[in-house]
Amino acid sequence: MLFKIICLIAFLTIFAFADELKHVKLQLRWLHQFQFAGYYMAVEKGFYKDMGLDVEIIEGFKKHSTTEVLEKRADFGVGNAGIVYERLNGKKVVSLATVFQHSPNIWLIRKDSNISYIEDLIGKKLMMTKTDENIELLAMFVNEGIPLDKLNIIESSYNLDDLIDRKVDAFNTYYSNEPFFLEQKGIEYTILQPHTYGMDFYSDCLFTSEEFLNKNPEVKKV
């Protein structure tokens, strides 16, 4: 029932009475892994089919889910706090449901770098994915009165070895992923999380476009 609530709440009543299944595409924000388990389970258990939907789940490595939805290569997407920022900047996206009540986005740091607090990151090499997708990682600096122009942000290589080999000082990742890999290698680490600095955002939000909603008014009944 929990999976159904999480993953179908935004789909309930959509095409529920259609004679044929409606094919829709769901764009993930990352590689296939356990964080999207609810969507996979909904497919396997036939929950989507019960609602008249044939859902194709698309892997998201190096794809911007908002762009994929707005350019109509996908009907739904999984995003994070960045979709709020994008909405404020004129992009017609609409959040339908939230899977994570707290953002798992973190700064991952080698413990032997002697970086313990957010102010220690000033002037250091910070590797992160697109800033509009991970706005909470920047908001934590703003909330602490640290100007963003004091930060040295490097576009992510998606390669944890850059942190391991000390090419960067902090690496943007999910709490549930890369820390485990460092533990396997016996490398001690420090984690800096947005909510520790007053930025407690949702994450892995299911969203669609305003245009899709207008063409499918059944969604508004949810």
Same domain (yes/no): 56, 22: yes
Owning domain of residue 127: 105-197
Same domain flag for 96 and 23? yes
Q: Are 207 and 147 in contact (CB under 8 A)?
A: no
Cβ atoms of 204 and 35 within 8 Å: the answer is yes
53 neighbors 22 (Cβ within 8 angstroms): yes
**pLDDT at position 33, please?**
87
The pLDDT of residue 19 is 60
Q: Do both 46 and 33 map to the same domain?
A: yes
Contact 4, 12 (CB under 8 A): no
The residue type at 152: N
Q: Are residues 186 and 215 in the same domain?
A: no
Q: How confident is the model at residue 60, as a pLDDT?
A: 85
**Do residue 11 and residue 87 come from a single domain?**
yes
Tokens 């220690």: give the residue.
120
Q: How many CA atoms lie within 13 A of 85 on its CB side?
A: 18
Q: What is the pLDDT of residue 129?
A: 85
Both 182 and 214 in one domain: the answer is no
Contact 51, 5 (CB under 8 A): no
The reply to whether 13 and 97 lie within a common domain is yes
Please indicate, yes or no, whether residues 164 and 78 belong to a single structural domain of this protein. Answer: no
**Residues with Cβ < 8 Å from 157, sequence gap 6 or more?**
127
**Residue 4 dihedral angles phi and psi, to the nearest 5°:** -65, -40
Count Cβ atoms below 10 Å from residue 32 Cβ, excluding itself: 14
Same domain, 110 and 97: no
Report how far residue 125's alpha carbon sits from residue 115's, in angstroms, rounded to the nearest whole number.
12
CATH of the domain at 56: 3.40.190.10
* Sequence-separated (6 or more) residues with CB below 8 Å from residue 137: 105, 107, 128, 131, 172, 194
In the chain, what is the greatest distance between 2 CA atoms, to the nearest angstrom? 62
Are 191 and 159 in the same domain?
A: yes
Residue 191 has a pLDDT of 97
- Mark whether 146 and 207 lie in a shared domain: no
- Do residues 52 and 11 share a domain? yes
Structurally, the chain folds into a number of domains equal to 2
Global confidence as pTM: 0.80
User: Rounded distance, CA 72 to CA 13, Å?
Assistant: 22
User: pLDDT at position 13, please?
Assistant: 47
Provide the residue-wise pLDDT of the chain in tens; the chain has 222 residues: 454 445 554 454 445 545 688 899 999 988 898 889 999 999 999 999 988 889 999 998 778 899 999 999 999 999 988 888 889 889 999 999 888 888 899 999 999 999 999 999 999 999 998 767 788 999 999 999 999 999 999 999 999 999 999 999 999 999 988 999 999 999 999 999 999 999 888 889 999 999 998 888 765 554
- Contact between 97 and 39 under an 8 Å Cβ cutoff? The reply is no
